[in-house]
Structure 1
Amino acid sequence: MENKFKTGVVTPKVKLTVVKNSGVVEKFTYEKLLKSLVMVEAPFFECEKIVSDVVGSLYDGITTKEIKKMVYEDLEVVDPEAANKYLAKVTLKVRTSRDKIEPFDLSRIANTLIEETGASQETAFQIASDVWKELKKLDVEYLTAPMIREIVNTKLVEYGLEDLRSKYTRLGIPVYNITNLIENGNRSNANMMHNPETIHKYVADEALKQYALLHMLPTKLADAHMSGDIHIHDLEYFASRPLNCLQHDIRSFIKYGLKVDGSGDHTSVASAPSHMETLMNHTGEVMLAAQQNMSGGQAMSLWNVFVAPFARGRSYEEVKQCVQMLIYNLNMAYAARGSQVPFTSMQLEFGVPDFLKDVTAYGPNGLNVGTYGDFEEETRMIERAFTEMLLKGDAEGKPHLFPNTIYTLRPETYKGDYEEDLRLVHELSAKYGSSYFVNMFPDYRGNMANYMGCRTQLQDNWTGDWETDCLRTGNLAYCTMNLPRMGYTSKDEDEVFEQLDDKMKMVEEVLMIRRQQGLHALNDWNILPFLTQDYEDDTYYHINNATLSFGFNGLNEMLLALFGAGIEDKDSNKFGVKVVKYINDHAHDLQEETGLRWSTIQTPAESTAYRFASLDHEMFGDKAILNGTQGAYYYTNSSHVPVDTDVSLVSKIKTEEQYHRYTPGGHIFHAFMGESYSDPDSLMSLTEKIAKNSDIGFWAYSSALSFCLKCKTLMKGLNNKCPTCGETDEVEWYDRITGYVQQVGHAKSSNGGWNAGKKQELMDRRRFENE
């Protein structure tokens, strides 16, 4: 029989069929078999012998896998190198990261090692050869790129090349975890619902967290985080969004218009707004756009003062309509960070503050329209309209969860005619528990203090200039120390401070790495274009004015471990204050030493309090002092009094106020109110007392709410059954999780965003009644 290779190979006289790996049956052709040997440069005459040998062993229905095995075994006897090439070419197929199936290529392993890790050629080819020896032993139809990479990493470890392994490691998430995310969601962020975008976010988050821990952070710091000595927040954003919270200056956009992409190259460009309606839209778009560049909250302080010139000549009903548009915009822009609405806060003034009355005001088309003191009535009108629209709730009567609405209490607030406006705000507090209050009375305050979400804060104690210190900057990052663990492992007070020094050094290193990443992201890589856009020959975001904050969690449990008494005990509390002051003094020393803005913060710890407690339970067993129950342990947040402690509201204020002056990076006082405080007048009286007689800097009256999805009834307290229609399965719970009001989930369901520790803390909260 004649063939194109003109060989003397005897071909079978009967027609044989071969079963391929895919199950397809086709006719056997000896030409294809011979060609496969020639292509790997096997000795030509040996090829004829091998083909003849194989053909003699064929039977109808033989598999291609069996044929290849026979060829490889015969070829290995005469030419091992060619046999390896043959095996790699026709037997070992690789599903690559380029979504292709390719023949195995040993040199590709060596080349990637050289390119990705800087390994020498000699080392790279030695590792690649060892990997090939392992792969030959595998009886698999396909290899995958991750499988090969893991075998390479194993060899790197065997050779003691851990530094190369850390660079070569593949980042990802197990199949099981992705399946679980799709089916059950995640509980690490209560502000996120379960949908396709959040699934994408969590998968990406996991890879980026691994990248930060394996590639960006020294092993000592990564280990400290994973073991629970410290908690590095927002690891998923460490590489690409290293900046946390941002305090905007709406005047920049009033004067110069808006480029939501930072350049105008990819989106439409808006000129300076001419009407209040346009400015409302721009306000929402600014926060949504900045959220693409930031990992934390977006805030605007003095907002109603700066917007006031646009309300000149408008009726109150028109102003309300404009404000309503903004509120719905902020609550319905479901497009930020994995299908969340932007995390937004508005800080409102009851009137124009004294220090702003002579400052130049900008109005429609960015024009100078006098000074802000000329717009007192418009400032008040916008604040009143904002409060009324929040008080109304949404179309179903539920609270608007964003923006966090913050009201500034100044000495001039209680000197002016603001009683009616104050009462309206306290109606909002009594109904939804969503209002926040900033206290400008304490002696540690200046002209300005603004908050950016859960509690992160800026005040004019950096340079003394309120614009430099409080606008177009924010909290760059914070990192939290596990205080209870220091209590478990310290023999005395001196050792506590030694451990504090050690952990603060770790936090300092983490924050400096993150700041450096922020500088790269802003200045070198052009991945934060909104923040780097030009305003008045300057970039919008001022990183040099941003805070780097030392966070802490579980002060109460540390005191219990050391003294057997917690923060509500006066003697224990003295040491607690000493500890937090020590941290803050260290931050001040760092400011002098580095010229950077170091600070101390009461960490929000939405998930950190749960994580620390769970890790310490594993590590210390019964020695760990925990709140909650098995599977739902938690530590007391920052320097708060435990939520279930039976102390009066006055005592709680007197204990916690001592910490606010030492936590200028952020703090909050939670007053978990019972139904007797549904009276706005009672709350209003309490507010005045707190403002004038305490050092509490920031607080909220938190109320537990229930809402029936069936009949749209809003109820006080955590109710399992609607009193109006009797519904039990469709009753939602709401409360403040750490610094913002959020849905807990259905009363009879595990659905909802709160993690197990926070849900247990919710059930443990003691509510204050009228005292």
Structure 2
Amino acid sequence: VATFDSDSHFEDKLNFKDGKHFSMGSWQVVSLNCPRAAYLARGDDELLFEYLRELMDTSVEIFKVKREWMNQIIRNHRMPFATQQPRDPITGEKGSVAVGLEGLVYTIGVVGVNEMVQFHTGKQMHESREAWKLAVRAMTEMEIYAKKLSQQHGMTIALARTPAETTAQRFAVSDLIHEEFRECAERVVKGDLSAVKKNVHKTRDLPVYYTNGTHLPPAADVTIFERAKHEHVFFPIVDGGNIFHIFMGEATPDPQGLMDFGMRLARETQIGYFTFSKDMTVCLGCSQVSGGLEDRCPNCGSEDVDHISRITGYLQAVSGWNSAKRQELKDRKRYNELA
């Protein structure tokens, strides 16, 4: 995170003085299969944290390879666009490098924190305060260790919630087909396990997943305020990437109600980034767009429709999603009342 204290050019970048600017992003992102750490720990808290640290150590080895490779790329001038220095149109002098590569970080993401504590304690985060506290402690331990690794290896390492659009499915499927972890995963994985048993020998695109990041599971039957209460604590722990989802049940939500609720979240919680998401049905015949997930167009009756909804941080046609994300779409708890 750039601040006045950590970046001597912070104000210049803020005002684009002499072409200076912030460059945000990661050299490399590695997401961790947190439930597998719990499977190995078998209920031992300290062993759980140790396995998580080992996963982070492995991530650093990957980062080192990426750093060396990218240094070679830069030395050999094979990134001409990113390393160009545009000339000032008036003076002709070269300006700042187009992309401030020194501002890029190495990111460690987490997947399945809810399933990790579910296996470890027998309860999900919203079902037990002890389970939730374990998740908070685990993330805090990892954030502290990320800072230690940053100093030790001379690279900025960020702990974040990564989008993991396909990774949440891939980790779940990998554990379900792994002889050592299959029985463990079957106890906590989300989605349609019966479909896995029928189709596991035909495809790996199966409707099962681990919960993304530090979120409560999509189907958790809690009020929106309870969801916020559980999830907001993780925002100051991670260095970025976190998001709070509010999936709307109404086809036409009240604008003032949304505004009031958004202001309440901003004032009363530590949530720094939240979204109101509304499902939509698009008719590919008459182009009518309607609220909700409909099987046929309410305007012309055509069944040639597609759906649009949020996948992690952005809206996308559901037809392009894998089966795990489509299952998650079905599982999501939607809210009609925000007051």
Please say if 1:628 is aligned against 2:191: yes
Please say if 1:590 is aligned against 2:149: yes
**Residue aligned with 1:480, SS:** strand
Please say if 1:736 is aligned against 2:295: no
Q: Who is 1:606 aligned against?
A: 165
Question: Per-residue deviation at 1:715?
Answer: 1.1
The answer to whether the 8 A contact 1:483-1:552 is kept is yes
Please say if 1:472 is aligned against 2:61: no
Do the aligned partners of residues 743 and 475 (structure 1) sit closer, same or farther apart at CA in structure 2, a change above 3 Å counting?
same
Please say if 1:514 is aligned against 2:66: yes
Question: Per-residue deviation at 1:537?
Answer: 5.1
Q: How does 1:632-651 map to 2 (within 5 A)?
A: 632-651=207-226
Highest RCO, 1 vs 2 (Cα 8 Å, sep ≥ 6): 2
Please say if 1:463 is aligned against 2:26: no
**Identity percentage over the alignment?**
31
Please say if 1:552 is aligned against 2:95: no
* Matching residue's letter, 1:636: T
Please say if 1:532 is aligned against 2:83: yes
Q: Distance in 2 between matches of 1:657 and 1:482?
A: 22
Q: Distance in 1 between matches of 2:217 and 2:141?
A: 22
Q: Distance in 2 between matches of 1:579 and 1:470?
A: 35
Q: How does 1:171-210 map to 2 (within 5 A)?
A: none
**Residue aligned with 1:736, SS:** strand
Do the aligned partners of residues 679 and 463 (structure 1) sit closer, same or farther apart at CA in structure 2, a change above 3 Å counting?
same
Measured against aligned partners, the alpha-carbon deviations of 1:625-656 in whole angstroms (never above 9, x if no partner) come to 21111231100001001000000101111111
Query: Which is greater in Rg?
Result: 1
Do the aligned partners of residues 595 and 684 (structure 1) sit closer, same or farther apart at CA in structure 2, a change above 3 Å counting?
same
Q: How does 1:4-19 map to 2 (within 5 A)?
A: none
Q: Distance in 1 between matches of 2:277 and 2:324?
A: 18
Do the aligned partners of residues 592 and 470 (structure 1) sit closer, same or farther apart at CA in structure 2, a change above 3 Å counting?
farther
* Aligned length, in residue pairs: 305
List gaps (5 residues or longer) in structure 2. Answer: 15-19, 87-93, 197-205
Q: Distance in 2 between matches of 1:659 and 1:713?
A: 40
Q: Distance in 1 between matches of 2:124 and 2:285?
A: 44
Do the aligned partners of residues 598 and 470 (structure 1) sit closer, same or farther apart at CA in structure 2, a change above 3 Å counting?
farther
The answer to whether the 8 A contact 2:117-2:125 is kept is yes
Do the aligned partners of residues 675 and 470 (structure 1) sit closer, same or farther apart at CA in structure 2, a change above 3 Å counting?
farther
The answer to whether the 8 A contact 1:462-1:597 is kept is no
**Residue aligned with 1:678, SS:** coil
Do the aligned partners of residues 462 and 588 (structure 1) sit closer, same or farther apart at CA in structure 2, a change above 3 Å counting?
farther
Q: Distance in 1 between matches of 2:184 and 2:168?
A: 17
* Matching residue's letter, 1:706: T
Runs of 4+ in 1 over 6 A off after TM superposition: none
Q: Distance in 2 between matches of 1:570 and 1:708?
A: 45
Q: Distance in 2 between matches of 1:461 and 1:579?
A: 30
* Matching residue's letter, 1:633: V
* Matching residue's letter, 2:25: G
The answer to whether the 8 A contact 2:224-2:246 is kept is yes
Which of 325, 332, 337 is matched with 1:758 structurally?
Answer: 325
Question: Per-residue deviation at 1:714?
Answer: 1.1
Cα RMSD of the aligned pairs, angstroms, is 1.9
Q: Distance in 2 between matches of 1:462 and 1:658?
A: 25
Which of 721, 730, 733 is matched with 2:296 structurally?
Answer: 721
Measured against aligned partners, the alpha-carbon deviations of 1:101-123 in whole angstroms (never above 9, x if no partner) come to xxxxxxxxxxxxxxxxxxxxxxx
* Matching residue's letter, 2:100: H
Q: Who is 1:19 aligned against?
A: none
Do the aligned partners of residues 517 and 714 (structure 1) sit closer, same or farther apart at CA in structure 2, a change above 3 Å counting?
same
Q: Distance in 2 between matches of 1:461 and 1:475?
A: 21
Q: Distance in 2 between matches of 1:572 and 1:540?
A: 46
Question: Per-residue deviation at 1:571?
Answer: 1.6
List gaps (5 residues or longer) in structure 1. Answer: 1-457, 746-752
Do the aligned partners of residues 521 and 504 (structure 1) sit closer, same or farther apart at CA in structure 2, a change above 3 Å counting?
same
* Matching residue's letter, 2:310: R
Question: Per-residue deviation at 1:461?
Answer: 7.8
Kindly indicate which of the two structures has a greater share of residues assigned to helix. 1
* Matching residue's letter, 1:732: D
Measured against aligned partners, the alpha-carbon deviations of 1:45-99 in whole angstroms (never above 9, x if no partner) come to xxxxxxxxxxxxxxxxxxxxxxxxxxxxxxxxxxxxxxxxxxxxxxxxxxxxxxx
